[in-house]
Amino acid sequence: MLLDDEGNELILPKTEQIPSDFFKKGDTVKAVVSKVEMKGGTPSIVVSRTSPAFLERLFELEVPEIFDGLIIIKKIVREPGERAKVAVESYDDRIDPVGACVGMKGSRIHGIVRELKNENIDVINYTANSTLLIQRALSPAKVTTIKIDEDSKRADVFLRPDQISLAIGKGGFNIKLAGKLTGYEIDVYRDTEAEVESEDVDLDEFSDEIEPAIIDELKAIGCDTAKSVLELSTEELKRRTGLEEDTIADLRKVLESEFD
């Protein structure tokens, strides 16, 4: 039993608590009113911490652009205490809705995550393009191809073998929530063509071996993957990045070792 500021009794059932919630006398508890029932002429106020509406209120508290209506939350789906996906849209082209919700170095979303007992929150840009929305909803997995059947509301998603586990997620929560967010029944498949081809690798995967400043230099000239760098000659890389020849030679060795 909880009491609000005016002394009203509130009920927070176990079913409306995040699995790892634990409260003791005197604690301040954040929750949202889920329903009010009349029992014997007395109102019974039930509150929830598992409702998507609770997460929406937390975003309103942390993100001024949402409170002011500049960013709209289109949909929220949750597996309380595990994972949530939030689709957002901005009516102002100057505002990046995802960046605003996350905040500088995650400053805004960290408070929400802590309140939800480290629930993993994915914030994505909403789009009316179903294919793109499914692709974003399956983040952090990188999708190769999507085939949609609008009549049955099913989507066959093809991914590289190393991306399948990311798409499904721990306990299957990622794919389950992606389906709820998009309204499609999503099935994932191994992309056999990608298996046959020698897979490319994002430069960010080499951050332990290559200095971030060098990776940034390469990205600045449009090279985001290992193969895109290796396709350029040493002379071309030297001219376009300003990197020393020895540095480029070492860089090539690191990247080429990935495909040996």
Domain residue ranges in the chain? 2-48, 135-199, 203-257
Strand partners, 86: 76, 123
**pLDDT higher than 80, residue 260:** no
Rg, C-alpha atoms of the chain: 24
Choose the weakest-confidence range: 29-43, 51-65, 100-114: 29-43
**For the residues 143-162, what does the mean pLDDT come to?**
93
**pLDDT higher than 50, residue 36:** yes
- Quote the pLDDT of residue 220: 86
**For the residues 9-24, what does the mean pLDDT come to?**
91
Cα separation, 260 vs 62, whole angstroms: 48
- Quote the pLDDT of residue 162: 85
Q: What architecture does CATH give domain 135-199?
A: 2-Layer Sandwich (3.30)
**pLDDT higher than 60, residue 134:** yes
**For the residues 198-208, what does the mean pLDDT come to?**
80
pTM for the full model?
0.69
**For the residues 248-256, what does the mean pLDDT come to?**
92
**For the residues 230-234, what does the mean pLDDT come to?**
90
Which residue is listed with tokens 């109102």?
Answer: 43
162-196 pLDDT per residue, tens? 899 999 999 999 999 999 999 999 999 988 765 54
- Quote the pLDDT of residue 196: 42
Averaged pLDDT of the chain: 90
Which of 138, 128, 201, 202 lies closest to 168 in space, CA to CA? 138
Which of 179, 190, 183, 199 lies closest to 157 in space, CA to CA? 190
**pLDDT higher than 70, residue 9:** yes
Cα separation, 46 vs 2, whole angstroms: 10
Cα separation, 20 vs 220, whole angstroms: 44
53-62 pLDDT per residue, tens? 999 999 999 9
Contact 217, 237 (CB under 8 A): no
Residues in the chain: 260
